[in-house]
Amino acid sequence: MTTSQRDHVEHIWIVGGPAGSGKSTVAQYLAEQLSIPYIEGDDFHSKANKDKMGAGIPLDDQDRWDWLIALRNEALKQLHSSNSVVVTCSALKRKYRDVIRIANYDHPSVQVHFIYLKVDEATLQSRVAARVGHYMKENMVHSQLDELEEPDNESDVLIVDVTRDKESVKATALSLVKTKLKEYDELINQAHESS
């Protein structure tokens, strides 16, 4: 990152994890606490994707590419009026996360961060079963976990254990984001001091 890029850093915060992990709850909380735009990833699925999932048929890679690109583009669009945006996106596989990471290639001032909500299958099953009116059904949880590639060794991923109570999960996610933002502020200050 060059000095001029450090002077203007923008952040895309992707709240990821399988269905029922609490993506929307955490993302809405972050958006509210940080006063930044919130993009609900589910809203960007095509009708065909929603129908497919509603019928209990897992999405494949082909179903997801346009959705991921649309999310990335919308996040970049939101950065025209804000220096950060939070987006919900399952981001189950590394290659899906890489599609979002491309935002940085054409826009070097944009930093992409993933907040991975880590949770066990039993917790997911009970949460999804309790949902009312959502197209994602219980039988889809297992297929999502089968697809999941844990982001353990990816440097831009913050991991939050979501087996704890909701308030603790939200507070942990916010603390991690604030810590990361502070790191970038310190980089900017160091760049100014050395120039």
**Residue 2 predicted with pLDDT over 60:** no
Identify the structural domains of the chain with CATH numbers, from first to last. 10-190 (3.40.50.300)
Q: For residue 195, what are the contacts with CB-CB under 8 A and spacing of at least 6? A: 3
Q: For residue 52, what are the contacts with CB-CB under 8 A and spacing of at least 6? A: 59, 63
Residue pLDDT, tens place only, 57-91 = 888 999 999 999 999 999 999 999 999 999 999 99
Longest dimension (CA), the chain: 59
Residue 63: the pLDDT is 94
Rounded CA separation 32/132 (Å):
24
Look up the pTM and report it: 0.89
Exposed/middle/buried for residue 94 (C-beta within 10 Å: 0-12, 13-18, 19+): middle
Residue pLDDT, tens place only, 143-155 = 788 889 999 899 9
Residue 19: the pLDDT is 81
